[in-house]
Amino acid sequence: MKDMSDIIDFLNARVAEDETEARRELEQLAMTEAKADLRAFAECEAKRKIIAHYERIDWDHEPAGDQDYMEKFLFIIAEVYADHPDYREEWRP
């Protein structure tokens, strides 16, 4: 199994940054505008669920090829942050 800890750490940090930024923006908005920005929190939660799902998989019992399939999801999520200085080109799908 590949060591995916670097990309998982990277993604967790970016999602935390996204959530912090969304919270900051939400605090600055009037309540009528706030509902539209709640989507950012839902996106953060969805990304966390994908990462957590990957981390829970027992690769000794998964069919061959599934690991590559799941890793691809992590790389696709990470590509959103390709302009971040910690992003690695080898993660580009």
pLDDT tens string 22-65: 888 777 776 555 565 677 788 899 999 999 998 888 877 777 66
Residue 93 lies in a domain: no
Whole-structure pTM value: 0.70
- Burial annotation 22-52 (CB, 10 A radius, 16+ → b, else e): beeebeeeeeeeeeeeeebeeebeebeebbe
Which residues constitute the domain of residue 22?
A: 5-84
pLDDT at 23: 80
Residue 90 lies in a domain: no
Residue 89 lies in a domain: no
Determine what percent of the chain is predicted with pLDDT higher than 70.
87
Q: Does residue 10 register a pLDDT over 70?
A: yes
Residue 46 lies in a domain: yes
More confident residue, 93 or 83: 83
Task: Look at the chain and report how many structural domains it folds into.
Answer: 1
